[in-house]
Amino acid sequence: MAGTVSQAAFCLAYGWLARRRPWPPAPAIAAGCAAFAVATIALAPVALPTAAVGAVVVVALAAAIRLMPADGGRSEATTPLPAWDLPARMVAATALVLILTGGAGALGPRLTGLLAPFPLYAAILAVFAHALDGAAAAARVLRGLLLGLFSFAAFFLVLASTLRVAGIGIAFAAATAVALALQAGSLWVLRRHDGRPPR
């Protein structure tokens, strides 16, 4: 759950630097990775009760959404995706996953665990949106990630709170139900922000 704060730091750093330096995305990615690393290092020695971590995560996500740069509203006129777009995303994501898992033995379980929350797919989606439609599109991707992270954190909060008392089956069912409900709420918020009626 605490790794969610590091993901929020990544989003803020990428979003703001992409706005200041629209292209290429390398500085924004570097800033996002640096922010993720600093937050992860700062959080590593901190040990809080589960409920306190949940509260910190909610505050951090709310603050990050508030502090994200404005995206100028949603534009329906997006660039058509080139034929190579989806395969390139798949190759980039798979390569990064293989690098992390392949190096897990050398990194050790603790460092691997700290790196696990890195927003790998969100970074790839943000870079491709950035390349095709500009920094505002990347900011929209990252804002969507931040909203989705509420359900991510809620899943682990419910799981951690119920696993010992309710058992594996009930704990996972409850955590999944809460995460899906929050994800539906996040989708509603995004649609409302985009000016589209919720379905």
* Residue-wise pLDDT tens digits, 151-197: 989 998 999 899 888 899 999 999 999 999 988 888 887 777 665 54
Q: Is residue 69, in this structure, part of any structural domain at all?
A: no
CB contact at 8 A, 8 and 118:
no
Q: Is residue 77, in this structure, part of any structural domain at all?
A: no
Would you state the pLDDT for residue 64?
A: 94
Q: Is residue 199, in this structure, part of any structural domain at all?
A: no
> What mean pLDDT do residues 48-59 have?
90
Q: Which residue has the higher pLDDT, 197 or 56?
A: 56
Cα dihedral 104, 145, 66, 31 sign: positive
Q: Work out the pLDDT band at 76, boundaries 50, 70, 90.
A: very low
> What mean pLDDT do residues 117-130 have?
80
Q: Is residue 73, in this structure, part of any structural domain at all?
A: no
d(CA 127, CA 137): 9
Q: Is residue 122, in this structure, part of any structural domain at all?
A: yes
> What mean pLDDT do residues 26-37 have?
89
The region of weakest confidence among 66-80, 99-113, 115-129, 170-184 is: 66-80
Q: Which residue has the higher pLDDT, 54 or 119?
A: 54
Q: Is residue 68, in this structure, part of any structural domain at all?
A: no
Q: Which domain holds residue 93?
A: 3-63+83-193
Helix (H, G, I), strand (E, B) or coil at 97: helix
How many domains is the chain partitioned into structurally? 1
Would you state the pLDDT for residue 113?
A: 64
DSSP letter, residue 82:
P
Q: Is residue 71, in this structure, part of any structural domain at all?
A: no
Q: Is residue 101, in this structure, part of any structural domain at all?
A: yes
Would you state the pLDDT for residue 79?
A: 61
Q: What contacts 62, CB < 8 A, 6 or more positions away?
A: none
CA distances from 166 to 16, 158, 163, 171 (A): 43, 11, 6, 6
Long-range contacts of range 73-78, CB-CB < 8 Å, 24 or more positions apart? 73/195, 74/140, 74/193, 74/194, 74/195, 75/133, 75/136, 78/132, 78/133, 78/137
Q: Work out the pLDDT band at 109, boundaries 50, 70, 90.
A: low
Would you state the pLDDT for residue 78?
A: 57
